[in-house]
Amino acid sequence: MKIGTQDWDFVAHGAHIWRGALTAEQLPVLAKAVKDEGGQLIALWGSDDRHLAGGYAIHVAFMTSAGLVWSYAALPAEEPGFPDLCATFPQADRMQRAAFDLLGIRAVGAEDTRKWLRHGAWPEGTYPLRKDFDAAPTRELDAYPFIPVEGDGVHEIPVGPIHAGTIEPGHFRFSIIGDRVLRLGERLGYTHKGIEKRFEGMDLDTGAKLAGRVSGDSHSAYAWSYCMAVEAATGTAVPERALWLRALFLEIERVANHLGDLGYLGNDAALSFGFMQFWRLKEDWLRLSEKLFGHRYLFDRIVPGGVTVDLTDSSALLTLTARLEMEIHELQAIYEEHAGVQDRFANTGIVRPSLAAQLGLTGLAGRGSAQAWDARAQFPQVPYDTLDVNMATHRRGDVLARAEVRFAELYESLRLIREIAQRLPAGPLRVAVVSTGELTEGLGWVEGWRGEVLVAVRIGADGRLDRVHPHDPSWQNWPLLEVGVLGNIVPDFPLINKSFNLSYSGQDL
């Protein structure tokens, strides 16, 4: 296939997915070619391949005009390294640092070599994703080198990692003059659970349960992406009805999250009425999910080979989507006519389209800054290839733009849900997934409500998981939150943060 002006030896690995081996030295060449044609880096991760008579490998997934390109390069067993990609794609920084923390794979030439995930939880010089890792319960003192801001009148405000309520842990270091933010430093990694290590040796069905719990508010996206990877690796053809039901679950998940976030945004702008009304609608939606499918958040309904539950009462679903659409229109009018909400939303937390493109802002937040990427519309899987998804975008790049994208996506998801329910094809719900008896690999790629969720899977000859890497779009978007808050007042941070609503767990595996 051709990327830029160069031909690359990539082969089809599924619908809109391409795969190919490179040398480590070719990675920055490919990255520049992708950048020059307007593409983006989506994910970067490593693997320990020494038990396969090799060394290590670095994997990089790029979004291109042809779809997703999964490139990988073999690295030596001693001092594995690859050229730094941050000069082309700055969003690679934290992913590269995580690859070193977890596997000891170094980005050669990188300026930022601070640890990212290793909060003193394992000794320096040991790497938990290596196959020979011995989980010694050793702790070390931890002092993260935040970049200081100095000058007359500059103060620091440390926030977290423990917050009020049930929010996940994350540390934010504000450098301010008065109440204006000069710089925001982030440190995440406090939810690190060893998920990638836990996958090793699991059977395929149990792996699906774990994948769906990487980030609970994106359960359907992760479960589908994982199952898609497993099915690609085993050559499993999923029944058409199951694929349509997976899309139904994905859109139900999107609606639930957008309803909740629009309520939170109203609350952060001191409109508690908006919070109560949107959460009333979300509760109605979750109760219907439980009634129809047995779980409020649809956990464990998407499994390798298909789904575990059918839609048997489409009338209840159609009735609620119609009522929700009517009430959401009424609430949107209230938000748009409320002077206080508009004053807080407009020109707050701006990420300009040019900077969004440079730093790789993706998903919902990216579409609010004119980044027109939505896999459902541009690279559709079944059934999206027949549903004509309308992609919502905006150019303002502020809290208001991200709220308006949410409203537009709500209406579109409700339309898609109705169409899926009315056009659902007949047929079985699941087929058996049979191991090939050989080492195989697969990749799944789904447009979750936050953005692109990617899961790469390697299945051993024994039919058990050898390596699984789940990737959340929050990896790319957390650094853009640091940009969006600059110049704003500190009290606007909760509002800006909620307008992105990024996952802590999703990128702290």
Number of domains in the chain: 2
Pick from 481, 457, 480, 472: nearest CA to 507: 472
Q: How many Cα atoms are found within 13 Å in the side-chain-facing hemisphere of 27?
A: 27
Task: Please indicate, yes or no, if residue 55 is contained in any of the structural domains.
Answer: yes
Phi, psi of 394 (to 5 degrees): -150, 160
Give dist(CA 145, CA 76) in Å, integer. Answer: 30
- Residue that finishes a domain, picked among 108, 123, 152: 108
Task: Please indicate, yes or no, if residue 120 is contained in any of the structural domains.
Answer: no
The residue whose two tokens read 């992609």 is 391
Give dist(CA 248, CA 422) in Å, integer. Answer: 11
The stretch 212-238 carries a mean pLDDT of: 97
The stretch 252-273 carries a mean pLDDT of: 97
Length, in residues, of the chain: 509
Give dist(CA 447, CA 451) in Å, integer. Answer: 5
Task: Please indicate, yes or no, if residue 205 is contained in any of the structural domains.
Answer: no
Residue 17 has pLDDT above 70, yes or no: yes
Give dist(CA 104, CA 102) in Å, integer. Answer: 6
DSSP 24: G
**Distance from CA of residue 286 to its chain's centroid?**
22
Looking at residue 10, what is its pLDDT? 92
Residue 319: Cβ within 10 Å count: 12
Residue 322: which CATH number?
1.10.645.10
- Residue that finishes a domain, picked among 90, 108, 126: 108
Task: Please indicate, yes or no, if residue 505 is contained in any of the structural domains.
Answer: no
DSSP string, 98-131: HHHHHH--EEET-S----SS-SSSS-TT--TTST
Residue 399 has pLDDT above 80, yes or no: yes
The stretch 322-326 carries a mean pLDDT of: 98
Task: Please indicate, yes or no, if residue 250 is contained in any of the structural domains.
Answer: yes
Residue 120: Cβ within 10 Å count: 14
Give dist(CA 63, CA 37) in Å, integer. Answer: 10
Give dist(CA 401, CA 131) in Å, integer. Answer: 45
Task: Please indicate, yes or no, if residue 289 is contained in any of the structural domains.
Answer: yes
Query: Residue 342 sits in which domain range?
Result: 240-348+374-432
Looking at residue 136, what is its pLDDT? 63
Cβ neighbours of residue 71 closer than 8 Å, sequence gap 6 or more: 10, 19, 20, 21, 22, 27, 30, 59, 60, 61, 62
Pick from 216, 233, 483: nearest CA to 349: 483
- Answer yes or no: do 102 and 247 share one domain: no
Q: Which of 8-22, 62-76, 485-499 has the lowest mean pLDDT?
A: 8-22
The stretch 332-360 carries a mean pLDDT of: 96
Give dist(CA 58, CA 72) in Å, integer. Answer: 6
Looking at residue 134, what is its pLDDT? 81
Task: Please indicate, yes or no, if residue 495 is contained in any of the structural domains.
Answer: no
Helix (H, G, I), strand (E, B) or coil at 27: helix
- Burial label, 168 (beta-carbon count in 10 A; 0-12, 13-18, 19+): middle
Looking at residue 140, what is its pLDDT? 67
Task: Please indicate, yes or no, if residue 439 is contained in any of the structural domains.
Answer: no
Pick from 33, 61, 21, 62: nearest CA to 45: 61
Give dist(CA 397, CA 353) in Å, integer. Answer: 7
Question: In this predicted model, what pLDDT tens digit does every residue of 270-307 receive, in sequence order?
Answer: 999 999 999 999 999 999 999 999 999 999 999 999 99
- Residue that finishes a domain, picked among 89, 108, 127: 108
- Give me the chain's average pLDDT, please: 94
Question: In this predicted model, what pLDDT tens digit does every residue of 98-156 receive, in sequence order?
Answer: 999 999 999 999 999 999 988 877 888 889 999 999 876 666 667 788 888 888 889 99
Looking at residue 120, what is its pLDDT? 78
- Burial label, 491 (beta-carbon count in 10 A; 0-12, 13-18, 19+): exposed
Residue 41 has pLDDT above 70, yes or no: yes
Looking at residue 327, what is its pLDDT? 98
Question: In this predicted model, what pLDDT tens digit does every residue of 65-102 receive, in sequence order?
Answer: 899 999 999 999 999 999 999 999 999 999 999 999 99
Residue 10: which CATH number?
3.30.460.80
